Amino acid sequence: MEELRSPGGVPPRADVVVIGGGVVGCAIARELSRYRLSVALIEREPDVATGTSKANSGILHAGFDAEPGTWKARLNVRGARLYSEIAEGLHIPRREIGSLVVACTPTEREELEKLLLRGRQNGVVGLELWNRDRVLEHEQHVSRDIEGALWAPNAAVACPFLATVAFAENAIRNGARLVTECSVTGFDSEDGHITAVRTSRGRIETRFAVNAAGLYSAAVARLAGDDSFKISPRVGEYVVFDRSITDLARSVLFPTPTKVSKGILVSPTVHGNIFIGPNAVDVDRLDYTETTPSGLEEIISGARRMVPNLPLQGAITEFAGLRASAGHDFIIGESPAMKGLVHAAGIQSPGLTSAPAIAETIAECLREAGLELEPDPSFVPVNPRRPKFAEATRTEQAALVDADPLYGRVICRCETVTEAEIVTAIREPCGARTIDGVKRRVRPGCGRCQGGFCGPRVTAILARELKIPVTAVRKETAESYLYFARERLGDLAGDRLEDRERIDA
């Protein structure tokens, strides 16, 4: 079934409505598309991966940190294994580079022994305690004053937004329907069982819905009369370095964790950058993504504890992301207030790692709630491969240009992104509809100039491909227009804001 993104209504009915287009919601939609079901995936913004999934560390955790027996412990380990099986077929960038939890004091060294035991209880294989010399042999820039580290060889890095897009695209290719710019406004029920999801784009009759709304999952639950949990937003700030800085860390470097967070990391990304961060600050706004001088100072100070000589002159950008904290564990299961409504909420770290395993678990929850899951023999578990011009050989590049001259037009010089790649990113089944949507799929704007050269060109391509005026092009969210247009003033103060206030209430 084709995706629905243009103005209009939603499908009149669906077997399952998945609320939220983050990595968890998209993974759930893909998992459900394995079965003979009609699935509607609804997202309040113009694109998937616009919330927590757009701005996190991109770490596929080994699974030694979570308390044994929790959802986090079980689903982290299972999810990490699933990524090793599905990432290649879905074309999710993934690098298995291992991680080190670094101890800087004797007390922290004792904590490593507890993490080692916990990891083994959780089923993590290959864990080792390394002494100082072994760590310094592996990581030449780590502080000489460390006590040792816990080595987890199976830890990996991945691209969180490309993972989200890949899950969504595969779900759509297998029959799911994606509806963007669609907010939940309420639920209908009969005898305590859900009968419909009411949205800003229309009513969807259904007997089952999944609440994977991330930061807004508690607000969605309240619309069903469910006050069983609360979401507390927690912001984390990051600094990203230019790709010319390549040897600062070979593996993911964690400090010894605290009860609040895994701490400030120094880590490579799957795209070859190095980042430091995040901190962890509780905030009172669900849209708070500001960086602050004090936060950046905290990140730099924390990172220097492990890696003293940070090349701050190579920093190219800072950003902040929000986590949906709901306590010490994920909230997974049927709502106590409405039958047929299943929660996948409070998904903070290790949520990215756990996403495919959460999807399996939610499918089983739906089965237990009465949904019939009949496997669809036509399910295709992979996505088609798309050329990456920057990674191709000269011969391959020449062949691409011969086949499509748009490969010969480089739009982003920093990342060597061509017009053909941007056009494909817009036209694909889960296509980009915003500047940031293009950026996250094929990386124009991710280099040293941060979009200074390519930004206007990407804007023009979006307007052309979407057949909209340049004044209608948006950066990321529904209201993030790049240019002022007088005729849009009423929209900015009208229905869309009312929808947002309704769900935030």
What does the pLDDT read at residue 6? 41
- With contact defined as beta carbons under 8 Å apart, do 196 and 283 qualify? no
What does the pLDDT read at residue 462? 97
- CATH fold of 99-153+232-322, please? D-Amino Acid Oxidase; Chain A, domain 2 (3.30.9)
Residue 64: how many other CB atoms lie within 10 Å: 28
Average pLDDT over residues 200-210: 97
Alpha-carbon distance of 101 to 151, in angstroms, equals: 7
Q: Which residues of 372-389 are buried (b: 16+ CB within 10 A; e: fewer)?
A: eeeeeeeeeeebeeebbb
Residue with tokens 């299943």: 342
Q: Which residues contact 253 (CB under 8 A, 6 or more apart)?
A: 99, 100, 102, 139, 142, 265, 266, 267, 306, 307
pLDDT tens per residue across span 325-351: 998 999 999 999 999 999 999 999 999
Under the banding of pLDDT at 50, 70 and 90, the label for residue 496 is very low
Distance of CA 359 to the CA centre of its chain: 14
Alpha-carbon distance of 504 to 401, in angstroms, equals: 48
pLDDT of 25 > 60? The answer is yes
What's the mean per-residue pLDDT of the chain?
93
> 3-class DSSP state for residue 358?
helix
Q: Is the dihedral of CA 391, 394, 395, 397 positive or negative?
A: positive
Average pLDDT over residues 97-124: 97
Under the banding of pLDDT at 50, 70 and 90, the label for residue 489 is low
pLDDT of 501 > 60? The answer is no
What does the pLDDT read at residue 488? 53
Alpha-carbon distance of 379 to 39, in angstroms, equals: 14
Alpha-carbon distance of 127 to 204, in angstroms, equals: 48
Average pLDDT over residues 344-371: 98
Alpha-carbon distance of 232 to 246, in angstroms, equals: 36
pLDDT tens per residue across span 447-488: 989 999 999 999 999 999 999 999 999 999 999 998 866 555
pLDDT of 361 > 70? The answer is yes
Residue 229, amino acid: F
Alpha-carbon distance of 61 to 350, in angstroms, equals: 7
pLDDT of 95 > 90? The answer is yes
Q: Is the dihedral of CA 154, 155, 156, 161 positive or negative?
A: positive
Distance of CA 194 to the CA centre of its chain: 28
What does the pLDDT read at residue 482? 85
Residue 494, amino acid: G
What does the pLDDT read at residue 500? 41
What does the pLDDT read at residue 104? 95
* 153 burial level (CB within 10 Å; 0-12, 13-18, 19+): middle
pLDDT tens per residue across span 125-170: 999 999 999 999 999 999 999 999 999 999 999 999 999 999 999 9
CATH architecture of the region 1-92+158-231+326-385:
3-Layer(bba) Sandwich (3.50)
DSSP string, 436-453: HHHHHHH-TT-STTTTTT
Sequence spans of domains, the chain: 1-92+158-231+326-385, 99-153+232-322, 389-495
What does the pLDDT read at residue 7? 42
Residue 230: how many other CB atoms lie within 10 Å: 13
pLDDT tens per residue across span 71-93: 999 999 999 999 999 999 999 99
What does the pLDDT read at residue 321? 94
pLDDT of 417 > 70? The answer is yes
- With contact defined as beta carbons under 8 Å apart, do 196 and 203 qualify? yes
- With contact defined as beta carbons under 8 Å apart, do 42 and 59 qualify? no
- With contact defined as beta carbons under 8 Å apart, do 10 and 196 qualify? no
- With contact defined as beta carbons under 8 Å apart, do 28 and 172 qualify? no
Question: What residues form DSSP beta bridges with 151?
Answer: 100, 128
- With contact defined as beta carbons under 8 Å apart, do 417 and 439 qualify? no
What does the pLDDT read at residue 3? 41
Q: Which residues of 452-462 are buried (b: 16+ CB within 10 A; e: fewer)?
A: ebbbebbbebb
Expressed in angstroms, the distance from the first to the final Cα of the chain is 34
Alpha-carbon distance of 173 to 167, in angstroms, equals: 10
Global pTM reads 0.93
Q: Which residues contact 209 (CB under 8 A, 6 or more apart)?
A: 16, 17, 18, 19, 187, 194, 197, 340, 341, 342
What does the pLDDT read at residue 485? 61
Instruction: Give the percent of the chain with pLDDT over 70.
Output: 93
Residue 111, φ and ψ in degrees, nearest 5: -65, -35
What does the pLDDT read at residue 486? 55
Average pLDDT over residues 64-75: 96
Do the two domains 1-92+158-231+326-385 and 99-153+232-322 of this chain adopt the same fold? no
Alpha-carbon distance of 309 to 312, in angstroms, equals: 9
Annotated catalytic, 61? yes
Under the banding of pLDDT at 50, 70 and 90, the label for residue 494 is very low
Under the banding of pLDDT at 50, 70 and 90, the label for residue 2 is very low
What does the pLDDT read at residue 262? 78
What does the pLDDT read at residue 418? 98
